[in-house]
Amino acid sequence: MTVPLDEINDIREMDAVGVPRAEIARRLSLSRNTVAKYADMADMSPAAPEARPRARRALGPEDAAWIDAVLEADLGAPRKQRHTAKRIYDRLVGERGYEGSYSTVQRRVRAWRDGRRAGAGYLELEWAPGTAQADFGNFEADMAEERLALKLLVVSLPHSNARYARACMSQRSECMCEGLSRIFEQVGRAPAALVLDNATEAGRMSRGEVTESRLFSLFRAHYRCASRYCNPYSGNEKGSVENAVGFIRRNLLVPVPSVGSLEELNGLLAAGCERLNAASRCRDGRPVAEALAEDLAAMAALPADPFDAVRWVRARADKRGYVTVDGREYVAGPAWHSRELLVGVRAATVEILADRGRRAALLPRAWGAGEPVRNPLSLVPALVARPRAFGESTIRRDMPAGLVEAVDRMDAAGRRQTLRSISRAAEASGFEAACGAALRVAEGGRVPDDATVDVLARRIAAGGAEAAEAPTSASTTGS
């Protein structure tokens, strides 16, 4: 008798707390022997599944040799008149009295054909000028004293053997399109055709039909670039870029690079690729630079406007004003609670828009698990509307302590004016400089106003405000 796992757990749990086994058997409608068997079982670790006994005999050596001979003879027959595994099985049963299973014959036929393919090698392909291949590889880097797992986007021009690379945080379509755009800018032209791995997020080919992501389709339309998708396991279809991924990783990412930012890392990769291309040769022995001229002549000029690699999604903010995108929370601000918002997801930023395209927040893109991503400025609109909530707002921890104390002493009108002036000055100078400017004004005994805070914040952002005094303002509204 097979006892379900949940009943086994019930047996052992009741036995552990002292329920008599007869009572356990009565409650679960099981025999006492069954209860005793599972109650006394010392090891509940999962055991390896037992192989089922063969219902029929395995393929003998004579039948195996006969199958091999049939398949070998098929090589001289028309492709549509060759044996299938089912036809071989039918002949084995009818002509040789075979009593084994069809799956055994299938495995034998598959193994024979796989052996033929393994020894056949790849056809060498000739690539027209202007064609590019793109693929991703994995690598690690120390960035701001943290070891990160990153993606290496590589573009190769197989005609000239020129290679370009860019580090990305992810293989998501917005990261891929942004990376390709930056590589096209480095090359100075856009390829006529782009060959991609079928496993990328740009698009997939299934049964001869390609399903492409909307963002990548727009990207191709922007650069007027054709695309072709290949099997990720067919190395000859994109051998140039697969070799380039390993070549760049060995030559530019060993030892593990240590950088302060992703842009610094990409600067090192761009300079490194330029050195490698200058020292390399193409397949016919010419310098890469000579053959690259032929690639560039066959490629298209870059559009006047850069491509905005953004993926737009709709998300509803919760009662705190948080939206969740790709498993990570972003703070739009309490002013936007319980509303449907439009979120623009880019490689480096997340832009949250409210009705009629009004920007609610612009936040850095975050990856993996972590705290909600927030910008103090996203809290300001709600505080301007409800200035008395400043005392409990999380924006306090983003401001200098002296400014927090000054705002606490103000009345509602003074708080509203101070927060509004910080918000407006931050658009040009940044939140930190705006807060510093507001603090300087408050230390002078005045309530910060728009004009004064903006002028002083610009000086602070330019790096020359430490010795500067706050400009005289016509606004002298007190707290």
Same domain, 260 and 169: yes
Contacts of 34 (CB under 8 A, 6+ apart): 1, 3, 25
* Domain final residue pick, 354, 374, 394: 374
CA distance 334 to 315: 15
Distance of CA 350 to the CA centre of its chain: 14
Residue 9 lies in a domain: yes
CA distance 413 to 392: 18
Q: What is the CATH number of the domain that holds 349?
A: 2.40.50
CB 162 within 8 A of CB 298: no
Measure the CA dihedral 238/242/244/247, to 10°: -160
Same domain, 31 and 87: no
Q: Could you read off the pLDDT of 252-294 as tens digits, one per residue?
A: 998 899 999 999 999 999 999 999 999 999 888 899 999 999 9
Same domain, 176 and 226: yes
How confident is the model at residue 134, as a pLDDT?
A: 93
Same domain, 329 and 276: no
Q: Could you read off the pLDDT of 143-158 as tens digits, one per residue?
A: 988 899 999 999 999 9
CB 35 within 8 A of CB 28: yes
Ordered per-residue pLDDT tens for the chain, 479 residues: 678 877 887 888 888 889 999 999 999 999 999 999 888 877 655 654 554 555 556 788 889 889 988 888 887 766 767 889 998 999 999 998 888 889 889 988 988 888 776 544 444 456 789 999 999 999 999 998 889 999 999 999 999 999 999 999 999 999 999 999 999 999 999 999 898 876 567 776 665 566 788 888 888 889 888 888 875 545 445 678 888 999 999 999 988 999 999 999 999 999 999 999 999 998 888 999 999 999 999 999 999 888 999 999 899 999 988 999 999 999 888 878 898 899 999 999 998 888 777 788 888 999 888 888 888 877 787 788 888 888 878 788 888 999 999 999 999 899 999 999 998 898 888 888 999 999 999 998 899 999 999 999 999 888 754 444 545 444 443 43
Contacts of 320 (CB under 8 A, 6+ apart): 331, 334, 337
Contacts of 328 (CB under 8 A, 6+ apart): 366, 367, 368, 369, 370, 372, 373
Number of structural domains the chain divides into:
5
Residue 327 lies in a domain: yes
Residue 304 lies in a domain: no
Residue 340 lies in a domain: yes
**Which DSSP category does 50 fall into?**
P
How confident is the model at residue 476, as a pLDDT?
A: 40
Residue 353 lies in a domain: yes
Tokens of 81: 């008149």
CA distance 21 to 129: 81
CA distance 434 to 215: 37
Same domain, 337 and 440: no
Q: Could you read off the pLDDT of 423-467 as tens digits, one per residue?
A: 889 888 888 899 999 999 999 889 999 999 999 999 988 875 444
Residue 174 lies in a domain: yes
* Domain final residue pick, 268, 298, 328: 298
Same domain, 163 and 73: no
CA distance 292 to 159: 8
Same domain, 283 and 325: no
CB 162 within 8 A of CB 277: yes
Residue 53 lies in a domain: no
CA distance 274 to 165: 10
209-212 and 349-353 beta bridge pairing: unpaired
Tokens of 444: 């002078």
Measure the CA dihedral 100/101/106/112, to 10°: -20
CA angle, residues 196, 198, 200, in degrees to nearest 5: 75
How confident is the model at residue 208, as a pLDDT?
A: 59
How confident is the model at residue 255, as a pLDDT?
A: 87
Same domain, 185 and 254: yes
131-143 and 203-206 beta bridge pairing: unpaired
Same domain, 425 and 345: no
Q: With a threshold of 0.85, does the pTM exceed it?
A: no
Q: What is the CATH number of the domain that holds 193?
A: 3.30.420.10
Same domain, 141 and 258: yes
CA angle, residues 375, 373, 136, in degrees to nearest 5: 125
How confident is the model at residue 390, as a pLDDT?
A: 84
The domain of 348 spans: 311-374
Same domain, 328 and 199: no
Contacts of 207 (CB under 8 A, 6+ apart): none
Omega within 30 of 0 (cis) for the link into 232: no
* Domain final residue pick, 110, 142, 172: 110
Residue 260 lies in a domain: yes
CA distance 282 to 288: 5
What's phi and psi for 364, nearest 5 deg? -70, 145
Same domain, 356 and 391: no
